[in-house]
Amino acid sequence: MTDTNSAPQDSAPQDSAPTNVAPDAGGDDRSAQTFPHLIAEMAQRVAAYGTEEILAAGTLLFSRGQRSVDFFLVLSGQVDMFETDHAGAATVFTVHTARQFTGELDLLNDREILVSGRAAVETRVVRIPRSDFRRLVTAEPDIGEIIMRAFILRRVGLIRHGRGGVVLIGLGHHRETLRLERFLVRNAYPHRILDIALDPEARHALQGFGLTAADLPVVIAPGEAVLRNPSNAALADALGLTEALDPGRIYDVAVIGAGPAGLAAAVYAASEGLDTIVIEGMAPGGQAGTSSKIENYLGFPTGISGQALAGRAQVQAQKFGARLAISRMAAQLDCGGSAFRVVLEDGGSVPVRAVIAATGARYRRLDLPRYAHFEGQGIHYAATAMEAQLCTGAEVIVVGGGNSAGQAAMFLSRTVAHVHLLVRADGLAATMSDYLVRRIASSPRITLHTRTEIEALHGDDTLTSVTWRARSTGLGETRPIGNIFVMIGAVPNTGWLAECLALDPKGFVPTGMNRDGLPATSPYATVVPGLYAVGDVRAGSVKRVASGVGEGSVVVQAVHAFLHPDP
């Protein structure tokens, strides 16, 4: 198979390449992993899961916007992958030939697919329906590994080259533009951004669609659909990211929250045969998903971004059959009936037999005048590549003394002029891992300001300068800084649970005791039978990615015992 673009080189799996793939003539190793030619023996095994068909030239196999499409293995001939622009012109960007296969990550879920495929010439294929494809991936682990790696790398390629995506037009530093961009980035949806203040093409695009600056930001989707400043939920619906839920289906377990703890619970629950649904309001990853690099997570000696870790875990959960419902927050848990009912913010509900609360926590806000005005356009709670682009070459402030703040300071110091790290304490040793403390101390681009607090924010529409004051000296300083990264403390996301059980004084979920005040059967069990809590949302938990993953994996044993008690 050939690809008209270069093979993607970033965000790829770091484990070893599969060995049972025939060499891809003329391609490098990454291209061979993205578009592999299966060896003949593997192709024969794949063929056993489907039916052989001969397609006439021009036959459409699937088109953008369809859901639950089939998986195709090419036996002979050629399948073109293409996208169609707003004028209706088709552009072929990938060609599959003998012993190659179609598909990318949306074959693991019921979202709308991003690209179209057709037979370029008379082509012989094996068609494998969705249910049989899932069986193939799990029953043939060596082939499943090749397919999963290819699917991940293909999505990376779509994102890198903007294939099969949308166009976001707006003011690059405006909170609503950043909100939409953040939603697309964290959900790994391909897109291009046109900044109306910097890009002449953006102004031409506005004119072409009959739009004005008052309409911004807008998302231009295929088919000339124009979405004017949509909510996250409306954008997810328009792009086919939302999957329809069957109100008559009772899941074995609902995992509420898709951070590390929730995704671990989903992987283990689904892999052990439980009918599993994950409900997430924004995107996989949770608070950890906003981390630029996690360096002390076991098995990743060079570190991994929170978003990359969450993305792999999401794929892993879907591989085992877990359903992931995004863009709808859990608003309430009804635990008064024979089964739980998770009520969503749009009024829908999901009946389930057991619930794992993994909604984590969010960073606290600073108590400052005009703070809310600058949120999203100067004040940030994540330090990823997207936020780093906003402040390249400028001074920034990071507020906080924990690992998240330390990781953000180190990440930003690579591209900004200087990082001012502000903490209220006398130092970092009590709250931050030693490796980060030492790096910060040795970095010429980071200055630690102890016993220092922000006093005032300045600017009209966007933040332009900040005043802070050192409590030790009483001296204040105002600097021309337009971006603050706030990473202080934790407020649990437990409002949806308040009507079902009592929370502790700080709003976290108590676990480990039953209604009689005796030790529960699981340290993650609440006083409500069948309701469990793991990760940052749980009272007394260690606020670390590794501990959250551990709790999420272990709790599934208790869920099994609850659903299938010994006679």
Is residue 138 domain-resident? no
Most confident of 82-86, 345-349, 510-514: 510-514
* The pairing of beta strand 90-96 with beta strand 79-84: antiparallel
Is residue 142 domain-resident? no
Which range (272-276, 290-294, 359-363) has the least confidence?
A: 290-294
Q: Is residue 377 domain-shared with residue 411, that is, in the same domain?
A: yes
pLDDT digits (tens, 9 = 90+) for 421-465: 999 999 999 999 999 999 999 999 999 999 999 999 999 988 999
Q: Is residue 294 domain-shared with residue 410, that is, in the same domain?
A: no
> Does the pLDDT at position 17 exceed 90?
no
Looking at residue 406, its pLDDT comes to 96
Give the strands of the sheet with 379-380, arranged side by side. Answer: 379-380, 484-486, 395-399, 418-422, 446-449
Is residue 148 domain-resident? no
Q: Is residue 79 domain-shared with residue 174, that is, in the same domain?
A: no
Please say whether the beta carbons of 416 and 394 come within 8 A: yes
* The pairing of beta strand 166-170 with beta strand 191-195: parallel
> Does the pLDDT at position 168 exceed 80?
yes
Distances (CA, A) of 452 to 382, 412, 424, 430, 485: 21, 20, 5, 17, 15
Average pLDDT, the chain: 91
Domain of residue 34, residue span: 2-130
Which CATH number belongs to the domain containing residue 310 in this structure?
Answer: 3.50.50.60
Q: Is residue 357 domain-shared with residue 496, that is, in the same domain?
A: yes
Q: Is residue 523 domain-shared with residue 478, that is, in the same domain?
A: no
Domain count, the chain: 4
Q: Is residue 9 domain-shared with residue 82, that is, in the same domain?
A: yes
**Predicted confidence band of residue 549 (pLDDT cuts 50, 70, 90):** very high
Q: Is residue 259 domain-shared with residue 310, that is, in the same domain?
A: yes
Q: Is residue 354 domain-shared with residue 260, that is, in the same domain?
A: yes
Which CATH number belongs to the domain containing residue 220 in this structure?
Answer: 3.40.30.10
Q: Is the peptide bond before 523 cis (omega within 30 degrees of 0)?
A: no
> Does the pLDDT at position 13 exceed 60?
no
Q: Is residue 375 domain-shared with residue 471, that is, in the same domain?
A: yes
Is residue 136 domain-resident? no
> Does the pLDDT at position 524 exceed 80?
yes
Q: Is residue 40 domain-shared with residue 125, that is, in the same domain?
A: yes
Neighbours of 223 (CB within 10 A): 11
Strand segments (E) across 345-499: 349-357, 361-362, 379-380, 395-399, 418-422, 446-449, 452-458, 465-470, 476-479, 484-486, 491-492
CA angle 223, 108, 362 (to 5 degrees): 85
* The pairing of beta strand 251-256 with beta strand 349-357: parallel
Is residue 401 domain-resident? yes
Q: Is residue 301 domain-shared with residue 383, that is, in the same domain?
A: no
Q: Is residue 387 domain-shared with residue 477, that is, in the same domain?
A: yes
**Predicted confidence band of residue 204 (pLDDT cuts 50, 70, 90):** confident
**Predicted confidence band of residue 5 (pLDDT cuts 50, 70, 90):** very low
Which CATH number belongs to the domain containing residue 26 in this structure?
Answer: 2.60.120.10
Tell me the two tokens of residue 125. 């294929």
